[in-house]
Amino acid sequence: MNIKDYGFFYGTEILAAGAIPARIIAVHRGRYGIVSEYGEGSAQLKSREYYYEGETFPTVGDFVLIDHNTEGDSRIIKTLERKTFFSRRDPDKGRGEQAIAANFHVVFIIQSLNHDFNPKRLERYLTAARQSGAEPVIVLTKADLTDDYLPYYLEVSRVAEDVKCHIVSAKTGYGMEELYPYFENGKTLVFLGSSGVGKSSLVNALAGEEIMDTSGIREDDSKGRHTTTHRELIMLKCGAMIIDTPGMRELGMWDVTSGLGDAFSDVEEIVQKCKFRDCRHGSEPGCAVRAAIETGELDPARFESYMNLKREAKYSGDVTERRIQKTEFYKNVAMKKKNKNKVIY
Ligand code: GDP
Ligand code: ZN
């Protein structure tokens, strides 16, 4: 096995003496499924580097350096710098980020052409995708369920004019060939979309094999198999790879703050022209937003989704903040109690 087949893109200068490059294909309770020139295996973090020296914890898709061990678990000694990644606020640590997938080239944003279609959610996914650094591609599935997809297509063009959009049906095969070019050798792909939109059907149809369970529950999850058989980064026959992790399915929790400007750069540009920096775009004089809406330059619906997303981003931040404060509060209470019970002689 050549690690380059798995998309290894670094120069040889990063290879410390004796270290073997590997890619993380699964994460399970502190153990990692890896693939290297020795094939698939399992590994653990080397304590000194990770727990004392603060090396970035690896996630699925990461390229790492290992001390290979033929007998048992190899030791991971370094996480190589990520080209792209998704992260969310770390639920265990309060502050801080937790990466949930790394080093993918394309993010397929999936919505189905029925009740799931939702431009607001699309915008949110786009924000997350752009934030990751990878190329977003919109895929509208279940084309067989609608007679007329032009309105959907136009809606997509409105929220994401510079993003490619494909209309497909995994059931009839309609439009599927348009997606083949993305499945290049050594490329890694991820899928974003609510459950039931047809992600698994799409992946299976494109891979030509049953990669994902279309009943919604992946066998691997329910049986909790060993790390080496439980794969979250899956190599397809065509040589492309897909990443499918539980974290990827929880998009709703993600912090979207920093990618906001990108998805709504046109709106932000207008907002910056308001006379007052704290303009609330109501009756303030010199409000560029109001002016742009009046002239038709800015779609009021688009402005509303911008504001919604902004509120949401702020809100998701506040939730974390509240949790931190709550923990601090209880810690203080516990401490005071302890001190109170202390008998001082
Ligand atoms: P996932 O949860 O996003 O992985 O969605 P699945 O692939 O499991 O599909 C959810 C449901 O939608 C299943 O009942 C599929 O049979 C159905 N489905 C998937 N793709 C299509 C499609 O192109 N057309 C139609 N009509 N149904 C589809
Ligand atoms: Zn304004």
Name the least confident of 65-74, 129-138, 239-248, 318-327.
318-327
CA torsion 295-301-306-312 (nearest 10°) is: 150
Task: Please give the pLDDT value at position 180.
Answer: 93
| pLDDT score, position 286 | 95
Q: Quick check: 214 pLDDT over 70?
A: no
What is the structure's pLDDT at 198? 86
Q: Is residue 324 scored above 90 in pLDDT?
A: no
Pairwise pLDDT comparison (343 vs 104), residue with the higher score:
104
Confidence at residue 249, expressed as pLDDT on a 0 to 100 scale: 63
Tokens found for residue 77: 């000694």
Question: Does residue 344 register a pLDDT over 50?
Answer: no
Protein residues whose CB sits closer than 6 Å to any atom of ligand 1: 141-142, 144-145, 169-171, 193, 195-201, 214, 216
One-letter amino acid of 335:
M
Rounded to the nearest integer, the mean pLDDT of the chain is 81
CA angle 116, 153, 243 (to 5 degrees): 55
Taking CA atoms only, the protein residue closest to ligand 1 atom 8 is 214
Question: Distance between alpha carbon 95 and the CA centroid of its chain, in Å?
Answer: 18
| Residue 144: predicted pLDDT | 93
Decide if 89 contacts 97 (C-beta within 8 A).
yes
In which element (H, E) is residue 301 found?
Answer: helix 300-341
Per-residue model confidence (pLDDT) at position 89: 61
Q: 114-119: long-range contacts (C-beta < 8 A, 24 or more apart)?
A: 114/142, 114/145, 114/146, 116/193, 116/194, 116/196, 116/197, 117/152, 117/155, 119/155, 119/156, 119/158, 119/159, 119/305
- Two structure tokens written together for 283: 């009756």
The model's pLDDT over 28-53, given as tens digits with 9 standing for 90+, comes to 878 999 999 999 999 999 999 998 89
- CA–CA distances in Å: residue 168 to residues 110, 144, 175: 10, 8, 5
Ligand 1: nearest atom to the Cα of 201: 7
Looking at per-residue pLDDT, the higher value among 339 and 118 belongs to 118
Is residue 217 over pLDDT 90?
no
What average pLDDT does the segment 97-111 reach? 90
Q: Are 104 and 245 in contact (CB under 8 A)?
A: no
Calculate how far, in angstroms, residue 109's C-alpha sits from the geometric centre of ligand 1: 15
Ligand 1 pocket test: pick from 111, 199, 201, 244 the residue with the most ligand atoms within 8 Å of its Cβ. Answer: 201
Cα 154 to averaged position of ligand 2 atoms, centre (Å): 28
By percentage, how much of the chain surpasses pLDDT 90? 45
Under DSSP, the state recorded for 145 is G
**Which range, of 19-23, 34-38, 122-126, averages the lowest pLDDT?**
122-126
- Alpha carbon nearest to ligand 1 atom 10, residue: 196
Is the pLDDT at 158 greater than 70? The verdict is: yes
Output the pLDDT for position 335: 55
Q: Looking at residue 7, what is its pLDDT?
A: 96
Give residue 312's pLDDT: 60
**Ligand nearest the Cα atom of residue 249:** 1
Ligand 1, atom 19, residue with closest C-alpha: 198
Q: CB–CB of 270/298 below 8 Å? A: yes
Rounded to an integer, the average pLDDT of 78-92 is: 82
- Confidence category of residue 175, pLDDT binned at 50, 70, 90: very high
Residue-wise pLDDT for 256-304, tens only, equals 444 455 557 778 889 999 999 889 998 999 999 999 999 999 888 788 8
pLDDT digits (tens, 9 = 90+) for 293-316: 999 998 887 888 778 767 665 545
DSSP class of residue 178 equals G
Confidence of residue 91 (pLDDT cuts 50, 70, 90): low
